[in-house]
């Protein structure tokens, strides 16, 4: 059962466009009323005490308004009904949806659209709405009354594509005061169709770190979020995807080591990624053992040898067999290979897990975990928490 | 005349949801093709060489697609036409629009919506699209090949409302290396219906600073962007707007002075704001002269005495006459009062400007500037540039 504190947690309402919603403009007759001291608000969504979610959509003139899950977490379509006492407004209640993160889209008169008052993120390669129902059994990602680290945006140039990139960097509370202290670094990659903002606004990795550090559950570390797409423009509307491990290792890692007080040593540098990003993490770690000594695969495949089928050499064409030759060889090179997945991700559970389990049972530094769920952020946050608790304790 | 370099500047394409667009998912038949090395892209918009803008909208099943300016910068409605060779896609060309920043919204079958492939910001108290056409005569806000500072997100608690807030902080290039150096601070406020992200993603103040510092045109300083709305929840959907100057002075300034290497001295602390934010800036500076010694009013009123008509004491009920008693008294307290506005903002030009001009002519430390334009970001960026060039040179 939820309680008010959980449903009101501010982390559920923050996203890239705002930390605190205003929404006032969409109150009927509300034009300019923010100049007044007290005002009423029609929230885009309201988490009810039983965990159901009421969503309000201002769509005057619409004939139908619908909501549809994206990524599989909400089944089917939800129909909105017009609200008689509030002309132009439509409402629906999502009943019995499970806690967690839900990408979804809206259809007004059958045309897909964005709800301008709901949290907006980047998923499926475009702006998309999401909603978050708190889980009383997993609150590590909520904004709690603990010391908060900082999140930094850095801009750097890809020497490979000539384009500028940005990355987001988390530093623990006290980083700016403890000027003699140096920190290990975890690079953390998003999934397909998402980008560098994913682990920040969807994964809420900054709150996860704040909470884990406060509870003494993980080492203090720096976390770096990069975009997994390394574009090179080769024509008016034509792009090449250059290898992401190259830009991370050649351009980003040196920039981070120069700008932040890192421990510039492979033993204190790790990388993890989810789904598509697990491919990036694998090629970055196993392809650059001079720089990395730990790897996290969240909802990704488990293989160390493959012949190119994906069209990008480094994604589909690699052979890391040497590193996996024996437990002794592997453990000499890798402190940790963390493999996590949702227990309802059939292919992962049936294909990737047995392979990883087998090596783990043979003494490789491999940890395998499953979590209730599908291919979704709820699983990836839990992967991150468990891996963070293990990282750099060697 | 534009040139390719200007129309391709990455700062025109970045926003809160992404630094670099992907867009691939909206290419017909493009599902999953990002796994391939080379792919084609259908951009949400394309700035043509003559400055016109072609906008593409994927709205299969729509009967009409329209675009409408928001805030007055684009006149009337623009109609989209279906693209025969690309089912589901619609196109229009914005002809002859002037360079600069344009908020706008879309109407699909007459219902207002968001274009998920166009830059999305926060304006009018909800998510809203914008577009940016570069101005060859004003490029200070573009991403150039110069050293780049960092942008930091800090979370702090309002002692007045009990709610968490965030703010964005710009630090100049080299801040993390010059550990003996301390910096002056400018607090910079957004306008009504916008928020703390406005000066970052709309104003592009980080690029402005990078460029001005590189060209030796301004002092190195820290810039802090706060949300001007200080909400306190007093009922299920009922909010009180608490005074913003209190949370800035009591909660934010001490946090910034603790966490950053500021010069903690009123002579090195300034605040400026645009429109609604100019009210916040005025009450913060003139109401807290122990902390501030410079003020910027961008497209705002010019008054130092008012009796509450707006319902919020500190917004509409103040009397700073004492500070304005004479040029000598004023100049003893204030190093600078910068008053900037668009030359087409009739009320500002006819009411605020003459008042400010008169005092300036009497020797007050007041600078008055007008810029071509309306109530819009193009004017506010130029206000910021001119004020930055004057700040802390005393």
Tokens 């991150």 sit on residue: A384
pLDDT of residue B179: 93
| Angstrom distance (rounded) from CA A337 to CA A334 | 7
pLDDT of residue B1: 56
For the stretch A76-110, what's the b/e string if a residue is b when 16 or more beta carbons lie within 10 angstroms of its beta carbon? eebebeeeeeeeebbebebeebebbbbbbbbbbbe
* A83 in reach of chain B (CB within 8 A): no
Question: According to CATH, where is 2.60.40.10 located in chain B?
Answer: 4-133
DSSP B21: -
Q: CATH for B4-133?
A: 2.60.40.10
Q: Is the pLDDT of residue B310 over 70?
A: no
- Arithmetic mean of pLDDT, B133-139: 93
Q: Which residues pair with B233 in a beta bridge?
A: B239
User: For residue range B343-382, what is the model confidence (pLDDT) as tens digits?
Assistant: 999 989 999 999 999 999 999 999 999 999 999 999 999 9
CA-closest candidate to residue A310, choices B32, B18, B135, B99: B32
Q: Is the pLDDT of residue A328 over 80?
A: yes
User: For residue range B186-214, what is the model confidence (pLDDT) as tens digits?
Assistant: 999 999 889 999 999 999 999 999 999 99
Q: Is the pLDDT of residue B311 over 50?
A: no
CB–CB of B22 and A125 under 8 A?
yes
Q: Are strands A185-189 and A269-274 parallel, antiparallel or unpaired?
A: parallel
CA B189-B138-A166 angle, 5° bins: 65
Residue of A nearest to B119 (CA): A127
CA-closest candidate to residue B249, choices B161, B159, B153: B159
Which of A15, A43, A111, A170 to mutate to test binding with chain B, by most B CBs within 10 Å of its CB?
A: A111
* B113 in reach of chain A (CB within 8 A): yes
Distance of CA A153 to the CA centre of its chain: 16
Measure the CA dihedral B144/B146/B150/B151, to 10°: -20
Chain A, 41-60: which have a CB under 8 Å from a chain B CB?
Answer: 41-43, 59-60
| Angstrom distance (rounded) from CA B33 to CA B40 | 9
pLDDT of residue B50: 85
In chain B, which residues have their Cβ closer than 8 Å to the Cβ of A193?
Answer: 22, 24-25, 34
In chain B, which residues have their Cβ closer than 8 Å to the Cβ of A114?
Answer: 113-114, 116, 120, 127
Q: How many CB atoms lie within 10 A of CB B74?
A: 18
- Tell me if B194 sits within 8 A of B123, measured CB to CB: yes
In chain B, which residues have their Cβ closer than 8 Å to the Cβ of A41?
Answer: 237-239
Residue with the bigger pLDDT between A363 and A2: it is: A363
- Tell me if B119 sits within 8 A of B131, measured CB to CB: yes
Q: Report residue A286: phi and psi, to 5°.
A: -75, -25
**From A14, A126, A153, residue closest to B117, measured CB to CB:** A126
Q: What percent of chain A is modeled with pLDDT above 70?
A: 92
Lay out the sheet containing A81-82: strands in order across: A45-47, A53-58, A89-94, A81-82
| Angstrom distance (rounded) from CA A60 to CA A42 | 15
CB–CB of A238 and B41 under 8 A?
yes
In chain B, which residues have their Cβ closer than 8 Å to the Cβ of A164?
Answer: 10, 19, 143
Q: How far is B341 from chain A (nearest CA, A)?
A: 21
H or E segment at B257?
helix B253-259
Q: What percent of chain B is modeled with pLDDT above 70?
A: 92
Give residue B61's pLDDT band: very low, low, confident or very high (50, 70, 90). confident
Give residue B314's pLDDT band: very low, low, confident or very high (50, 70, 90). very low
* A252 in reach of chain B (CB within 8 A): no
Q: Is the pLDDT of residue A350 over 70?
A: yes
In chain B, which residues have their Cβ closer than 8 Å to the Cβ of A145?
Answer: 157
Give residue A261's pLDDT band: very low, low, confident or very high (50, 70, 90). very high
Which one is the CATH code of B150-390: 3.40.50.720, 3.30.300.180, 3.10.20.600, 3.40.50.1820?
A: 3.40.50.1820
Residue of A nearest to B45 (CA): A237
Distance set, CA B390 to CA B126, B335, B379 (Å): 34, 10, 17
DSSP B29: T
Residue A74, Ramachandran bin (φ over 0: left; ψ between -120 and 50: alpha; else beta)? beta
In chain A, which residues have their Cβ closer than 8 Å to the Cβ of B108?
Answer: 108-109, 111, 113
Structure tokens at A279: 């491919």
Q: What percent of chain A is modeled with pLDDT above 90?
A: 71
Give residue B26's pLDDT band: very low, low, confident or very high (50, 70, 90). low
Q: How far is A104 from chain B (nearest CA, A)?
A: 13
* B241 in reach of chain A (CB within 8 A): yes
- Tell me if A260 sits within 8 A of A183, measured CB to CB: yes
| Angstrom distance (rounded) from CA A180 to CA A178 | 6
Q: Is the pLDDT of residue A147 over 90?
A: yes
Structure tokens at B83: 């693209």
Residue of A nearest to B243 (CA): A37
Which of A20, A33, A256, A312 to mutate to test binding with chain B, by most B CBs within 10 Å of its CB?
A: A20
pLDDT of residue B243: 84
pLDDT of residue B4: 77
pLDDT of residue A104: 94
Tokens 């783990």 sit on residue: A360
CB–CB of A238 and B38 under 8 A?
yes
Residue of A nearest to B176 (CA): A259
pLDDT of residue B307: 65
User: For residue range A93-135, what is the model confidence (pLDDT) as tens digits?
Assistant: 999 888 999 999 999 988 888 898 899 999 988 899 999 999 9
**From A151, A237, A260, residue closest to B41, measured CB to CB:** A237
CB–CB of B113 and A113 under 8 A?
yes
Distance set, CA B94 to CA B10, B45, B379 (Å): 20, 10, 21
Q: Is the pLDDT of residue A314 over 50?
A: no
Q: Is the pLDDT of residue B173 over 90?
A: yes
Q: Is the pLDDT of residue A75 over 90?
A: no
pLDDT of residue A318: 79
Distance set, CA A6 to CA A43, A135, A145, A313, B283 (Å): 17, 8, 13, 46, 35
What is the predicted ipTM? 0.95
Residue of A nearest to B62 (CA): A111
Give residue A311's pLDDT band: very low, low, confident or very high (50, 70, 90). very low
CB–CB of A152 and B151 under 8 A?
yes
| Angstrom distance (rounded) from CA A53 to CA A67 | 12
pLDDT of residue B126: 85
Q: How many CB atoms lie within 10 A of CB A38?
A: 14
In three-state form (DSSP H/G/I as H, E/B as E, the rest C), the secondary structure along chain A is CCCHHHHCCHHHCCECCECCCCCHHHCCCCCCHHHCCEEECCCCEEECCCCCEEEEEECCCCCCEEEEECCCCCCCEEECEECCCCCCEEEEEECCCCCEEEEEEEEECCEEECCCCCCEEEECCEEEEEEEECECCECCCCCCCCCCCEEEEEEEECCCCCCEEEEEEEECCCCCCCCCCCECEEEEECCCCCCCCHHHHHCCHHHHHHHHHHCCCCCCCEEEEECCCEEEEEECCEEEEECHHHHHHHHHHHHHHHHCCECCCHHHEEEEEECHHHHHHHHHHHCCCCCCCEEEEECCCCCCEECCCCCCHHHHCEECCCCCCCHHHHHHHCCEEEEEEECCCHHHHHHHHHHHHHHHHCCCCEEEEEECCCCCHHHHHHHHHHHHHHCCCC
Residue of B nearest to A23 (CA): B125
DSSP B135: B
| Angstrom distance (rounded) from CA B371 to CA B356 | 16
Residue with the bigger pLDDT between A2 and B368: it is: B368
Give residue A1's pLDDT band: very low, low, confident or very high (50, 70, 90). low
CA dihedral sign of residues B367, B372, B373, B379: negative
Distance set, CA A194 to CA A95, A274, A340, A377, B64 (Å): 28, 10, 19, 12, 30
Q: Is the pLDDT of residue B91 over 90?
A: yes
Question: According to CATH, where is 3.40.50.1820 located in chain B?
Answer: 150-390
Structure tokens at B190: 């957004």
Which of A43, A125, A314 to mutate to test binding with chain B, by most B CBs within 10 Å of its CB?
A: A125
């Amino acid at each position: 059962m939820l309680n008010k504190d959980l449903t009101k947690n501010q982390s559920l309402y923050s996203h890239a466009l705002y930390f605190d919603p205003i929404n006032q403009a969409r109150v009927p007759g509300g034009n300019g009323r923010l100049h007044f001291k007290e005002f009423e608000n029609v929230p885009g969504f309201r988490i009810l005490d039983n965990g159901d979610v009421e969503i309000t959509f201002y769509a005057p003139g619409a004939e139908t308004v619908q909501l549809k899950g994206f990524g599989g977490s909400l089944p089917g379509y939800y129909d909105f009904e017009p609200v008689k006492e509030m002309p132009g407004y439509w409402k629906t209640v999502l009943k019995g949806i499970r806690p967690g993160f839900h990408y979804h889209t809206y259809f007004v008169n059958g045309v897909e659209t964005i709800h301008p008052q709901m949290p907006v993120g980047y998923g499926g390669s475009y702006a998309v709405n999401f909603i978050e129902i708190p889980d009383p059994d997993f609150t590590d990602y909520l904004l709690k009354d603990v010391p908060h680290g900082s999140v930094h945006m850095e801009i750097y140039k890809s020497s490979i594509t000539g384009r500028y990139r940005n990355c987001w960097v988390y530093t623990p509370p006290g980083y700016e005061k403890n000027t003699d202290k140096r920190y290990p670094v975890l690079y953390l990659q998003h999934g397909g169709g998402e980008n560098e903002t994913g682990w920040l606004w969807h994964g809420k990795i900054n709150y996860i770190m704040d909470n884990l550090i406060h509870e003494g559950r993980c080492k203090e570390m720096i976390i770096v979020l990069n975009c997994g797409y390394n574009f090179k423009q080769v024509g008016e509307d034509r792009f090449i995807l250059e290898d992401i491990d190259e830009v991370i290792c050649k351009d980003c890692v040196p920039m981070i080591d120069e700008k932040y007080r890192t421990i510039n040593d492979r033993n204190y540098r790790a990388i993890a990624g989810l789904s598509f990003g697990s491919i990036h993490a694998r090629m970055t770690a196993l392809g650059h053992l001079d720089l990395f000594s730990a790897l996290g695969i969240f909802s990704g495949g488990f293989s160390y040898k493959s012949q190119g089928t994906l069209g990008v050499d480094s994604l589909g064409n690699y052979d890391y067999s040497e590193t996996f030759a024996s437990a002794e060889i592997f453990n000499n090179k890798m402190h940790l290979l963390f493999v996590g997945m949702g227990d309802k991700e059939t292919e992962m559970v049936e294909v990737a897990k047995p392979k990883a389990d087998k090596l783990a049972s043979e003494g490789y530094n491999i940890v395998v975990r499953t979590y209730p769920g599908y291919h979704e952020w709820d699983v990836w946050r839990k992967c991150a928490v468990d891996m963070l608790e293990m990282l750099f304790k060697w």
